Amino acid sequence: MNVLVLSLTRFGDLLQTQPVLSGLKAQGHAIGLVCLENFAGAAALLRDLDQTLPLRGARFLACLERGDWRGSLKELDGFLAGVRQDFRPDLLINLTPSLSARLLVRALGAPEIRGFSVDPFGFNDDASDWAAFLQLASANRGQSPFNVVDLFRRSAGLQAAASPLDLLPPSAEDRTWARDLLRSREPQGGVRGFAALQLGASEDRRRWPVACFAELGARLWTEQGRLPVLLGSAQEQGLAARFCRAAPDLPCADLTGRTSLAQLAAVLTCCDFLVTNDTGTMHLAAGLGLPVAAIFLATAQPVDTGPYRPGCLCLEPDLDCHPCAFGQDCGRGEECRRTVSADAVLDCVRLLLEPDGPAISAPGARVWRTAFDAQGFLDLVPLTPHGDSDRARWLAVQRRSYRRFLDGLDPEPWTGPAPLRDPAAAASTCAALDKAVGLLQLLEQQLLLLERDPRPVLKAKFLTNCRLLQGILGDEPRLSVLGALWLFQSQQAARDLPGLGRLIRRYGHLARSLRSLFP
């Protein structure tokens, strides 16, 4: 069977489709991938691919921008015809929830579609609860307990336990080039090893300060004899220049903007470890098996975008406000960027090099080690005293409850500790759950009446209570993702009253289960 996967996303997101591709290949399918043309180089790093079909999105948009809609249509028609000729899909899996990707799925067509599409009326049509959760969780910071790779896997219909993100190794030619390049940058007297440093990030507020990287690099050199290797795109060369000015006497190999993706992979395999922000380079290193210490600031958090390989270390600022929400200005002067210290990161580097070494202190940081749990999902194991925090407890509750809910299973009794110890937070969450349980019971009764007597006045009351339930869940910070999910799923089920009834009962089971966790 031909399985075509759509991933019209950035470098790092594209790499994170690898476990999906490998899981599908293990089922004996031929695998094709549609990606943006400018990231086709990243697709060359993926294993288990039979065909890559680059979409010339930039050319398509250029035609539109100059008003040449006929040219755009010709581009699109040519691409669709090429896919149908070269890799006609029996199953199409779209992992990108954007409208353009959904419309492309609709235009391509396939006997079976998973992930994200649109219905005949142009409304969002998500093929599973997991796909809906994948889209909605990204807008509700701190409300998804799942790594995005696991959300990709479940959205693609893969139920088996995952394996680590495992990319193709660099070619022998690229490895030789990388070794020769790094040797040419060695100072007189040689080095003990190479320390890869990724200075950039998608946003400045998610970037650990250059001065901190410079302090870390200096200590890696003076204490361990490891030469800093600066990595990044051409747009990040200014950061490398600032690094060199901050540590003018520190030898380093500045490779920012000087490597292709394949060469970047080869350089990474020649290094002892990578210290990075939440970047595509982080996922590339994890996929190559390189030890990774990753720093997550502002909106970034390791629980959902951390490296998908056991044994990686993730640092967060030890601040109550982390992670912050999207689209909000920081009222604390981006304090999180100054909270994670070079000492904390150096502690993590030592632990990467000696996994059985002494416990770390990591001042100013919450530190987690990645691991797979009993259900085959990526989890975070605390290495600092933060695993018993209310945030960690609530994520554990969500992880257990939401996994079963999204799999269509009934809740199981919770045997862990109470989810929230803060009295105000517990009271707020309990109040919202009490209201939700009552409303769901009322909705179930009203639906029975509607099935027998669909009068407009009953419909209006029923719809009012549906919106009220969404507001109750959405206004409670710890339940907001359920509010968004309820709104989407109830709208999708509205054309099928028996299906809507089943959905109401499922939410009733979930709400009562969550409420039972509190005294």
pLDDT digit string (tens) for 217-270?
A: 999 999 999 999 999 999 999 999 999 999 999 999 999 999 999 999 999 999
> Roughly what angle, to the nearest 10 degrees, separates helices 148-155 and 18-26?
40
Domain ranges of the chain: 2-155, 172-387, 423-515
User: 54, exposed or middle or buried, with CB in 10 Å at 0-12, 13-18, 19+?
Assistant: middle
* Domain spanning 2-155, CATH architecture: 3-Layer(aba) Sandwich (3.40)
Would you say residue 298 has pLDDT above 70? Answer: yes
pLDDT tier, 276 (very low <50, low <70, confident <90, very high otherwise): very high
Tell me the β-bridge partners of 317: 365
pLDDT tier, 322 (very low <50, low <70, confident <90, very high otherwise): confident
Distance, CA of 34 to CA of 89 (rounded, Å): 11
| CA within 13 Å, CB half, 370 | 29
Query: Per the omega criterion (within 30 degrees of 0), is the bond before 355 cis?
Result: no
pTM: 0.94
Would you say residue 285 has pLDDT above 90? Answer: yes
Mean pLDDT within 383-401: 93
| CA within 13 Å, CB half, 255 | 28
Give me the percent of the chain exceeding a pLDDT of 70.
Answer: 99
Would you say residue 303 has pLDDT above 80? Answer: yes
* Per-residue pLDDT at 64: 66
Distance, CA of 518 to CA of 437 (rounded, Å): 14
* Per-residue pLDDT at 495: 76
Lowest mean pLDDT among 70-79, 288-297, 313-322, 342-351: 70-79
Would you say residue 140 has pLDDT above 90? Answer: no
Q: Give the number of other CB atoms < 10 A from CB of residue 431.
A: 12
pLDDT tier, 141 (very low <50, low <70, confident <90, very high otherwise): low
Lowest mean pLDDT among 193-207, 224-238, 316-330: 316-330
* Domain spanning 172-387, CATH architecture: 3-Layer(aba) Sandwich (3.40)
Q: What is the pLDDT of residues 443-486, one digit of tens each?
A: 999 999 988 888 888 889 999 999 999 999 999 999 999 999 99
**Domain 172-387 in the same topology as domain 2-155:** yes
Answer with the residue of higher pLDDT: 64 or 343: 343
